[in-house]
Every structure is written in C-alpha cells, then in structure tokens.
C-alpha cells in the first residue's frame, strides 16, 4: 500500500508531497506529458522513509494553471518562491525526460542550494545539430513548433481531444508495438502500467495546451547556460531508449562537464526508471 500524500497549491501550481516532516527534500519534476501523481511510483521504494518527496504539476498539466508565456527560467523563479514560502533551503532534484530543462533552470537559479541532480532519460536542447537523433514524433514536433503557427497547431491537437480524455491513452500508445522491448515490458507491468495510464489522463485533463507549449519550449534556447551549473549531476539513460535517443545524454554530458553519465544496457525510456528506481534514489541521496 502506497503512502498517502497531501496536495495543495501555491502560485497556481499544484504541489503533492509525502513525508513532509523529513528534512532531506527531493523535488520531482515530471516529463512530457506528465504530472505530480507519477511520483507515487517512487513511494514503493524501501528508501521512501529517508526523505521528503515533493512533486509538482507543471503549468498546463494536471491542476496547475496554464501560463502562455512560461519559460524554464520563469518556472524556476516561481518554484524558488514556493521553496522560500515552505522554508526549504536545500534540495535535491529528480527529473525525467522533458522535465530536464525546467530542472536545470531551477538548479542554475538556486546554485548552492541544490545538493544534487538526477536526470533520467532527459532531453538536451532540440537543435538542428541533433535533429538526426530525434524520433519521428520529435521531428514532427520540432518542425511543427518552427513552421506551424500556434493557433493552427492547437486546432490540430484539439481534433484528438474531441475523442475524450478517456481515450487519450489509446491515442498516445497507438505505436505501442514500435516501443523498445524493455519499454513494452514496462507498459505490461501490473503495477506500473495502470499508474502510467491513469496519470496520463490526469496530466492532460486541461487539453493540449501544455503539450503544445512544451514542444515550442524544447526547440528554443532554454534561457541559461548549462555549463554554469556546478552541483553534482547524474545522467541516467538507457541505450535502447527510442523516445529520447541516448545521443541526447552524451550531448548533456558535453554541456555539463561535471556530470556522471550512466548508460544502462538494454534499458528503454520508461524501463530504466522502473528497473533502476532504487539505485537512482540511492545515488541522489548521497552527498
């Protein structure tokens, strides 16, 4: 049975947390798409009682108000205000996939207040030089963000939403058979799969605006220099990741010279978080 969480909102951002009496804090920043509820997959870990786990719905996802002018730097400033209100002076950051730009922006802003970062399957800036490493969907998203006006893109995405949020998992996982073998196993896991599908519906209940905004954000300059982040960083990536190509991990490593890169053989985009959950947490909790 998973630990119960408490939920509240600050700055129109939904915050969910477990073990709020603990001093060691891990902030989980979800990917694309995602929500705070996905952090419940961490609460089955035997390490869960060692730290206070916090997670947010990024604006436009779940219950956090959409912000049309949001950037990673602007979200970082809002999260700093929240941490100040909660009197949290030191923090560890855990992000997955598309949560990377927002996580690194927060680390750049907080500097010494961030003890460590773990980025799991994280994206690097989507630039022309790594276009060849994008999968088909990412290439379409990249081109759409550059060539299709936002109103037109919104109309296109809204056609899918007309089918209803209850059908969104079928739309997203239409290409399930094309996932890597380890990721197919993750989506068949009796405990993990229901959480992934249910939290996807929670994440997208506002409609496509969060997704559309992320697509544009990922393909723009993130607004800060990665090489100015000085805290310890561990980059976790599966060599069979066909959602975020492992070459993105090597790109992040080049931009974060102090980072430790751990490429796991035979792991995909979703399976690495499932199979290496406790190792990721243990590494993150080290000083």
Tell me how many domains the chain contains.
1
Rg for the chain, CA atoms, rounded: 18
* 1 within a domain of the structure (yes/no): no
Q: Is residue 176 part of a domain?
A: yes
Residue 208: predicted pLDDT:
83
Give a yes or no: residue 235 inside a domain: yes
**181 assigned to some structural domain:** yes
Looking at residue 106, its pLDDT comes to 98
Q: What is the CATH number of the domain that holds 144?
A: 3.40.50.1820
135 found inside a domain = yes
- What's the pTM value of the predicted model, to 2 decimals? 0.89
Instruction: Name residues of the chain where pLDDT drops below 70.
Output: 1-3, 128, 130-132, 134-178
- State the pLDDT at residue 80: 98
Torsion of CA 137, 37, 247, 133, to 10 degrees: 10
Residue 284 sits at the vertex; the CA angle it makes with 39 and 84, to the nearest 5 degrees, is 70
Range of the domain at 74: 6-285
The token pair that represents 275 in the structure block? 């199979």
Residue 194 lies in a domain: yes
């Amino acid at each position: 049975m998973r630990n119960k969480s408490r939920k509240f909102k600050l700055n129109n951002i939904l915050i969910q947390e477990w073990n709020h009496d603990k001093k060691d804090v891990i902030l989980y920043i979800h990917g694309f798409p995602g929500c705070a509820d996905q952090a419940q997959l961490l609460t089955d870990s035997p390490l869960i009682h060692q730290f206070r786990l916090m997670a947010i719905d990024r604006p436009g996802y779940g219950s956090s108000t959409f912000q049309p002018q949001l950037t990673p730097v602007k979200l970082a400033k809002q999260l700093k205000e929240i941490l100040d209100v909660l009197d949290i002076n030191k923090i560890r950051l855990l992000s997955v996939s598309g949560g990377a730009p927002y996580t690194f922006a927060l680390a750049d802003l907080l500097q010494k207040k961030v003890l460590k970062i773990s980025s799991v399957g994280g994206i690097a800036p989507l630039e022309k030089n790594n276009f060849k490493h994008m999968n088909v969907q990412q290439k379409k998203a990249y081109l759409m963000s550059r060539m299709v006006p936002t109103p037109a893109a919104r109309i296109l995405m809204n056609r899918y939403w007309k089918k209803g949020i209850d059908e969104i998992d079928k739309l997203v996982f239409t290409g399930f058979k094309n996932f890597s073998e380890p990721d197919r196993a993750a989506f068949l896991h009796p405990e993990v799969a229901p959480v992934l599908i249910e939290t996807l519906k929670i994440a997208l209940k506002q409609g496509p605006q969060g997704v559309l905004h992320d697509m544009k954000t990922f393909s723009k300059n993130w607004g800060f220099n990665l090489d100015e982040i000085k805290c310890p960083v561990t980059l976790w990536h599966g060599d069979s990741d066909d959602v975020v190509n492992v070459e993105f991990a090597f790109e992040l490593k080049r931009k974060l010279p102090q980072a430790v890169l751990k490429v796991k053989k035979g792991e995909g985009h979703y399976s690495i978080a499932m199979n290496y959950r406790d190792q990721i947490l243990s590494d993150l909790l080290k000083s």
